Amino acid sequence: MTLREMSVEYRAQAQALRGRMQELEKAWKQTKDPAERANLEGRIWTLEVLWRETRDQAVLLERYYERGYHRNEKYTL
């Protein structure tokens, strides 16, 4: 599997994470229970971190071999 092919998988996973975040955000808006809201906020925050990192990795893998691409210093291969 090439890095570009891997980037497609990362993008798909990022999309799935984003979809789940949106579901949880909708549930957060609908609930009035403070404990449930706090629980949902924690889950959303965790998914947001995973989503952001997965998305960044997808970009890195897509563009790794492009000349002149300024890589994200956060990730090194």
Structure tokens at 3: 């890095």
Instruction: Let me know if residue 69 belongs to a domain.
Output: no
Q: What range does the domain containing 29 cover?
A: 3-63
Lowest mean pLDDT among 8-12, 30-34, 64-68: 64-68
| Complete DSSP assignment for 14-51 | HHHHHHHHHHHHHHHHH---HHHHHHHHHHHHHHHHHH
Residue 18, pLDDT > 70, answer yes
Whether residue 12 lies inside any domain: the answer is yes
User: Where does the pLDDT of residue 71 fall: very low under 50, low under 70, confident under 90, or very high at 90 and above?
Assistant: low
Q: Please tell me the predicted confidence (pLDDT) of residue 67.
A: 76
68 belongs to a structural domain: no
Count of domains observed in the chain: 1
Asked if the structure places residue 77 within a domain, the reply is no
This prediction's pTM:
0.83
